Amino acid sequence: MKKKITIVDYGSGNLLSAKQSLLRAANLINIDANIQISNSPKSLKDSSHVVLPGQGAFKTCMDGIQKIPGMQDQLNEFVKIKKRPFFGICVGMQLLADTSEENGIHKGFGWIKGKIKKLPSTKIKMPHMGWNKIKIVNNNAHIKPKETDYYFVHSYYFECINKKDVVAETEYGINFASIINKENVYGCQFHPEKSSTQGLNIIKDFISL
């Protein structure tokens, strides 16, 4: 069956490189997939998978989604009612939390319990930028990442309330969640689309769901 993968365009995120990576991953595993970038909530209705990239500040990203009439409702229906595979990248992952402390307190989707907090920057350079290792802490997710380096750019991290939702952690001043998963919802704090073969493998695992 042909898969329809939608990358949500809400004015933030590296859309073209995300699309290129999804196309490459689909070709490598011979999956017949229609991969589109769309800012229309209607396109989510018949999608099999949704990818939410994100760059910049939490509130700017949340505002971008809320400015599109019906987008948040459609995302909620896709994730909570239809329970189809959803993947958040960087700030796209942070939006899954209940709240963020970036520039005030702001509400997220609340799909994975937790809050977005600032990395403690007393002894380390900010933002956390470049290649860093991940360590698997829960092996029960359908995504099977390798314990190797991935490409990060961020100053805030996801503090999960339920440790079972954390697939992998990374150390930068503290140990923070670098991959999270709850049921059909997945998120990476790093950029898999900029993380060479190992990032592509995560994308392959996601589109195989």
Catalytic residue among 49, 61, 90, 188: 90
Q: Tell me: the pLDDT tens digits for 72-111?
A: 999 999 999 999 999 999 999 999 999 999 999 999 999 9
pLDDT higher than threshold 90 for residue 14: no
pTM attached to this predicted model: 0.96
The length of the chain is 209
Question: Residue 51 contacts by C-beta under 8 Å, 6 or more apart in sequence?
Answer: 5, 6, 7, 8, 18, 22, 86, 87, 88, 89, 92
pLDDT score, position 63: 97
Contacts of 192 (CB under 8 A, 6+ apart): 21, 89, 150, 199, 200, 202, 203
Contacts of 159-165 with C-beta under 8 Å, sequence gap 24+, read 159/114, 159/115, 159/116, 159/117, 160/112, 160/113, 160/114, 161/113, 161/114, 162/113, 162/114, 163/137, 163/138, 164/138, 165/112, 165/113, 165/114
Out of 3.40.47.10, 3.40.190.10, 3.40.50.880, 3.80.10.10, select the CATH number for domain 3-207: 3.40.50.880
Q: What angle do CA 93, 20, 193 make, to 5 degrees?
A: 40
Question: Considering the chain, what is the average pLDDT of its residues?
Answer: 96
Among residues 49, 106, 154, 191, the one annotated as catalytic is 191
Q: Active site includes 160?
A: no
49 catalytic per annotation: no
Q: What is the mean pLDDT of residues 123-135?
A: 95
Residues 65-73 have a mean pLDDT of 97
Domain ranges of the chain: 3-207
Closest CA to 169 of 182, 161, 178: 178
